């Protein structure tokens, strides 16, 4: 199944059509968990999560990615019922108030189904829709947008000496194969974005190489999403905790946009909206408002 990049300028997510060609899209991270690596459970309370999402929209986010299970290295697994209990009420409330689409960050089809029923229109699966055999069925039935991510292992195992014979080639083949798997479920490319999975089964050097060679994924014919926000490789370079990695994240975001990323997943919305727009204006040699 082949669709030219020109025909996929709009990312179709339920009733939403997101134009990623005009400027990079900002995906805001909202962790409704008690053990997030980046915010220490600040938004585990539903009311605080709702207020944070509304604030992110006001600061310029194009979509909100809500997760109820931490995917940090070593994080414990969460049962589908508990994960749903965390995210579904937040999504139900936000679906009535937000003007931007909601993404559910999960690897479980039951959580995805409940989240979509509550108002989510994108499924972001860090396993690339491989861990739960019914995930692509949910996405196909409900005509959601998809984010297919590459990860080596699970959060419990992924940082135990990850190795590759051909880092970029292996990630690219995985993403291409998963796009084809989606096509087998009659999911067209205009509903798919791909993510090479910075920090998911990769060493710090692997992450740097991925960012340097993002253009290797440009001919997949779908928008490329990159999530460098506050990641440990930035901490390794700057010797700083997650709460102080915004400037390092900004550098990674600018590089990612120059290398072809069209969706940027971040925590700090207002400053990184500005970074993304300036970086994209320089890349295109255009003054983009």
Active-site positions read 231, 265
Count Cβ atoms below 10 Å from residue 209 Cβ, excluding itself: 14
CB 122 within 8 A of CB 147: yes
Residue length of the chain: 289
Q: What contacts 229, CB < 8 A, 6 or more positions away? A: 29, 38, 249, 265, 266, 267, 268, 272
**Spatial distance between the Cα atoms of 93 and 115, rounded to a whole number of angstroms:** 12
Q: Which of 90, 104, 98 lies closest to 47, judged by CA?
A: 90
């Amino acid at each position: 199944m082949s669709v030219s990049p020109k025909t996929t300028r709009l990312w179709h997510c339920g009733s939403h059509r997101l134009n990623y060609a005009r400027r990079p899209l900002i995906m805001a991270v909202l962790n409704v968990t008690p053990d997030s690596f980046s915010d220490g459970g600040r938004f585990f309370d539903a009311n605080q999560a709702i207020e944070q999402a509304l604030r992110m929209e006001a600061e310029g986010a194009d979509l909100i990615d809500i997760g109820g299970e931490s995917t940090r290295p070593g994080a414990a697994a969460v049962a589908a019922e508990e994960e749903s209990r965390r995210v579904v009420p937040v999504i139900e409330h936000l679906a009535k108030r937000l003007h931007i689409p909601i993404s559910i960050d999960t690897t479980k089809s039951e959580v995805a189904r409940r989240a979509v029923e509550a108002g989510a229109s994108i499924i972001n699966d860090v396993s690339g829709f491989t861990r739960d055999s019914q995930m692509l069925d949910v996405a196909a039935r409900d005509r959601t947008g998809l984010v297919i991510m590459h990860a080596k292992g699970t959060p419990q195992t992924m940082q135990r000496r990850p190795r590759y014979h051909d880092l970029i080639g292996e990630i690219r083949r995985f993403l291409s194969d998963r796009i084809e798997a989606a096509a087998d479920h009659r999911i067209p490319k205009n509903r798919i974005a791909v993510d090479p999975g910075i920090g998911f089964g990769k060493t710090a050097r692997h992450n740097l190489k991925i960012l340097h060679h993002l253009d290797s994924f440009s001919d997949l014919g779908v928008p490329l999403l990159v999530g460098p926000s506050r990641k440990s490789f930035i901490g390794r370079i700057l010797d700083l905790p997650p709460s102080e990695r915004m400037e390092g994240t900004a550098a990674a975001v600018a590089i990612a946009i120059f290398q072809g990323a069209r969706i940027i997943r971040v925590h700090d919305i207002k400053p990184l909206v500005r970074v993304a727009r300036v970086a994209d204006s320089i890349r295109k040699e255009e003054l983009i408002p």
